[in-house]
Amino acid sequence: MNDFDEFDAFEAGAHQSLSARALGARQVAYLDDLNPAQRAAVEALDGPVLMLAGAGTGKTKALTTRIVHLLNTGRARPNEILAVTFTNKAAREMKDRVGRMLGHAAEGMGWMGTFHSISVKLLRRHAELAGLRSNFTILDTDDQIRLLKQLILAGNIDEKRWPARQLAGIIDNWKNRAWTPTRVPASEASAFNNRAVELYAAYQERLRTLNAVDFGDLLLHVVTIFQAHPDVLEQYQRWLRYILVDEYQDTNVAQYMWLRLLAQGHCNICCVGDDDQSIYGWRGAEVGNILRFEKDFPGAQVIRLEQNYRSTPHILGAASGLIASNKGRLGKTLWTDAPEGERVRLIGHWDGEEEARWIGEEVEALQRGTRGLDPISPDHMAILVRASHQMRAFEDRFLTIGLPYRVIGGPRFYERLEIRDAMAYFRLAVGPTDDLAFERIVNTPKRGLGDKAQQLIQRVAREAGVPLLEGARRVVSEGLLGGKGLAELRRLVTQIDQWHDRVRRGEQNHIELAEQILDDSGYTAHWQNDKTPEAPGRLENLKELVKALEQFENLQGFLEHVALIMDNETEDTAEKVSIMTLHAAKGLEFQAVFLPGWEDGLFPSQRSMDESGLSGLEEERRLAYVGITRAEVICTISFASNRRVYGQWQSALPSRFIDELPEDHVEVLTPPGLYGGGYGAAGMTSGVEARAASANVYNSPGWKRLQERAATRPVAQPRESRNVVIDLEAASSFTLGDRVFHQKFGYGTVQGIEGDKLDVSFDKAGSKKLVARFVVAADQADDVPF
DNA sequence: AAGATCAAGCTTTTT
DNA sequence: GCTTGATCTT
């Protein structure tokens, strides 16, 4: 049902009955589950409220209970509550939890969702006010960049010096600040070789003709509509009587304006956030929004949730001590009544590989149960890195020792090439005027329609002022193209017509239709004929895609949702260690957390500091804070003296954040030998042994002096000797049929030998040609320290 | 038009 | 070092 119809029906009625109903004791039993601060946050229903919720303080619980309480007290009906989150996952979780508390699905909560999904809903309703039709398409970053590239070329700009990616960044930034092309301040005019504003305007124009929007537009258009049409805004202010916002510290200016506009009037707005966990400044998030809240909403109640239910006192102490170095915080003191627990462990390693090896062993030790701790399932352990390229060292190592892991936040399902291609076909079937989709698939699979043919179609279409499909149709009917290309193009045009026809008539089951589109077009065959090792996986993904269609009534509905729901949560029950970035870890918790790579330049990231100075450093520090506070039971921070970056060996100092950790909460495992006499950690293979070797490094010669000494110490070269030995052995000793082991590809059989190269058929990874020194005989796999 | 070779890059990424 | 895109080659 349309939410607006519900509104209309509701407005015709009256508000009385619910609010008049007395609340029995049984109905508010949920309030007894809350601590005093949570309870205050739940019961302060009217007027502006800022809920400062530290890590692990039961924020979601307070938020969902508040929604239930709004309903129970009769303040609002499900449809009158606007609850905004940043991610679909958070929205889903909120919906589930509210539903669970109510004892039935949270029906009618039509305004619970992400900023973007709610904006889509608003924008479809009022598209014409933004110069769009309500069936506009939503472009993702990839489409956006391709479009910008065209405009850059059309503007006679050297795309190499001025890449589309950079322009996309500038435009995104402006949109995040709610600047339309005319509102970009003069001070920004020099951006992109003085051409950015002009290109931005051209881009917006192009989007309008394509009847398309990008992610930034979703918010921007809604803000612009609200500003230009007070009557429309007023409607929503009346309808949406209570507003809740999750992760408020991550809102950007456009989102802030969006909220302000809707909230002004009743001012029933409850923002939940934690200024110490603001880690998306680089994407336009304004910590200022949360710091300014009390000024923006006079009379706001500020409620602090400070009782932590997640971590031990040592972990909290370390995190609090670290974040205390940041200026301009709203300030919170997290506390817990949990038993003291383990200190945060700190360990230095010779290089990144050793760090990965040590962590691998430590994971296994924790899994068995060590240090007097209960055994911890790998499911409840995570390795949190600053940058995704750090993940590889762990993947390599874990593959070697056969430790199951999962990487969170890799390329997402709907961003994969084959999925995007398939989607382009579906888009064309639904809306044959979708030029971007047409461009994408016209020569995929190969139809002999290369650059020249495509330019011809473009030209014909542009001259006639028609979509590309129509242009193609004319090219065919007028025979402007030769031989193979012509026949293929004719076939494609006919096929698109047929698909569109079927979509329109809606007679055919949309799942069958989708399968047929992929088969008819030759796209399935394209991957079946592809001999690369990725091909089977891609076909698998296509099957997944078709399966995902089952949840929707038709192709249109599917496309609508997919544009916004880009997450890729595959349930997998096997017990695995998680590897992810610190950013991806926000909101999650693990019993054991490893924080590798705490080296100056890597973390805090040099680039962050160069580009954003002190505020960049503070954001990095918040990232560190987020990392530590993910840990429930045990947290291990590590750094490596040497690390290979972009193929070059580099030595680095331990992160300055390490100095900022309060010593009382830290246990230093690093043996003194590490800094004194070169590689000294050879015997230190597990945490238990390391602990025996742990000296009072913090106090003894002075931790800082140690660092200084490390700085002046000559750069040590990585050990090579053992690898060289293996190399010589390996190169000469293999024969056809030998079983070998490779650290990334696993076990395999030698199929051929050419000089120093082996042709190996791996059990899991398929056939690879590689240099002999990268593999060892299978029976030696366990002894070799890679 | 399609494969092959080479240079230039290179944080984080909810939607 | 390794991937990605642009140019070169057939």
Domain containing A694 — which CATH number? 3.40.50.300
Answer yes or no: are the C-beta atoms of A419 and A413 closer than 8 Å.
yes
Q: Is the pTM of this model over 0.85?
A: no
The pLDDT score that the predictor gives to residue A534 is: 74
Q: Residue A521 in contact with residue A539, Cβ under 8 Å?
A: no
Task: Tell me what pLDDT residue A57 has.
Answer: 96
Judge whether A38 counts as a catalytic residue: no
In a domain, residue A383? The reply is: yes
Q: Is residue A666 part of a domain?
A: yes
Co-location of A526 and A638 in the same domain: no
Catalytic residue among A386, A427, A630, A768: A630
Do A443 and A501 lie in one domain? The reply is yes
| H-assigned helices in A185-243 | 196-209, 215-228, 230-239
- Could you tell me if A648 and A695 lie in one domain? yes
Task: Please confirm, yes or no, whether A247 is among the known catalytic residues.
Answer: yes
A102 and A228 together in one domain: yes
Residue pair A283/A311 in contact (Cβ under 8 Å)? The answer is no
Reported as type and span, the H/E element at residue A406 is: strand A405-407
Q: What is the DSSP string of A308-353?
A: -SSS-HHHHHHHHHHHTT-SS------B--S---PPEEEEEEEEHH
In a domain, A749, yes or no: yes
Report helix angle A215-228 to A253-263, nearest 10: 40
Distance A387 CA to B11 C1' (A): 6
- Strand C atom within 7 Å of A77 CB: no
How far in angstroms lies nucleotide B4's C1' from the CA of residue A160?
22
Strand B within 7 Å of which CB atoms in A 113-172?
114, 116-117, 141
Same domain, A375 and A442: no
Same domain, A121 and A150: no
Task: For A393-425, write each residue's pLDDT tens digit.
Answer: 998 899 889 899 988 877 777 778 888 889 889
Of the listed A6, A46, A60, A77, which one is catalytic?
Answer: A60
Report the alpha-carbon distance of residue A111 to residue A80 in Å, rounded.
Answer: 8
Residues A99 and A232 in one domain: yes
For A330-334, which contacts have Cβ atoms below 8 Å and span 24 or more sequence positions? Answer: A330/A52, A330/A275, A330/A290, A330/A291, A330/A302, A332/A52, A332/A54, A332/A274, A332/A276, A332/A304, A332/A306, A333/A306, A334/A54, A334/A55, A334/A56, A334/A57, A334/A306, A334/A307, A334/A308
DSSP string of A639-672, one letter each residue: EEEEEEETTEEEE-PBPHHHHHS-GGGEEE---T
| CATH number of the domain bearing residue A745 | 2.30.30
**DSSP strand E in A149-291: where?**
212-213, 242-245, 269-273
Residue at a domain's end among A305, A335, A365: A305
- Is A161 within 7 A of strand C by CB distance? no
pLDDT given at position A704: 44
CA nearest neighbour of A603 among A396, A386, A763: A386
Domain with A760, as residue range(s), is 739-783
A58 annotated as belonging to a binding site for a ligand: yes
For strand A81-85 and strand A242-245, is the pairing parallel, antiparallel, or unpaired?
Answer: parallel
Residue A576, CB, less than 7 Å from strand C? Answer: no
Catalytic residue among A143, A172, A214, A247: A247
In window 394-433 of A, residues with CB < 7 A from nucleic chain C are: none
**pLDDT tens, position by position, A357-369:** 999 999 999 999 9
Residue A15 (CA) to nucleotide B10 (C1'), in angstroms, measures 59
Q: A497 in a domain, yes or no?
A: yes
Q: Is the CB of A488 under 7 A from strand B?
A: no
Q: Are A773 and A430 in contact (CB under 8 A)?
A: no
Q: Give the model's pLDDT for residue A728.
A: 32
Q: Do A199 and A247 share a structural domain?
A: no
- Residue A646 CA and nucleotide C2 C1' are separated, in Å, by 8
**A206-243 pLDDT, tens digit each:** 999 989 999 999 999 999 999 999 999 999 999 999 99
Q: Is A540 a catalytic residue?
A: no
Q: How many domains does chain A have?
A: 5
Residue A635 pairs in a beta bridge with: A593
Low-confidence ranges of chain A (pLDDT < 50): 1-6, 8-22, 25, 672-731, 781-786
Neighbours of A296 (CB within 10 A): 18
Same-domain status, A109 and A223: yes
> Looking at the structure, do residues A695 and A593 belong to the same domain, yes or no?
yes
Task: Select from A87, A86, A96 the least CA-distant residue to A249.
Answer: A86
The yes-or-no answer on residue A312 being catalytic is no
Residue A456: give its domain's CATH number: 1.10.486.10
Q: Pick the last residue of a domain from A186, A210, A234.
A: A210
